[in-house]
Amino acid sequence: MLLALGSAQTYAYAFGSNNDREMQIITVSALPPEGRETLHLIKRGGPFPYPRDGVIFSNFEKRLPKHERGYYREFTVKTPGIRNRGARRIVCGQPVECYYSADHYRTFRRIVE
């Protein structure tokens, strides 16, 4: 999967959801180091450390813009000191939009460069 990320300032606001809410954004450089590594693996197409990396993210809570099923894929962002997958994820739509969640999908920030 090849991703091309846009540009903006860290924690600026951008419109990005179907229900006209504002969605926060985060720059790649502001991601935790493990998030930057996960994004690098996504751009390279893997290999991924967790078996569930790359599975369909269904967006049941509709916190991301609406798309057909299968559009979004989720990837684990390692959490230091945690033995399981933890709560941090990057969810990407094809081909160019990625979102970071530090709280297991309760909130998302669109990732930009």
- Domain assignment present for 8: no
Kindly name the residue from 40, 67, 104, 113 that is annotated as catalytic.
104
Model pLDDT for residues 46-102, shown as the tens digit of each residue: 999 999 999 999 999 999 999 999 999 999 999 999 989 999 999 999 877 999 999
- Domain assignment present for 4: no
pTM: 0.80
What contacts 67, CB < 8 A, 6 or more positions away?
A: 59, 93
Kindly name the residue from 68, 74, 97, 113 that is annotated as catalytic.
74
Number of domains in the chain: 1
Residue 104: active-site member:
yes
- Domain assignment present for 103: yes
34-56: average pLDDT: 96
- Domain assignment present for 39: yes
Q: What burial class does residue 42 get, using C-beta atoms within 10 Å of its C-beta: 0-12 exposed, 13-18 middle, 19+ buried?
A: buried
Q: Residue 13's pLDDT band (boundaries 50, 70, 90)?
A: very low
CATH number for the domain harbouring residue 99: 3.10.450.30
Determine the structural domain holding residue 102 and report its residue range.
Answer: 13-112
- Domain assignment present for 88: yes
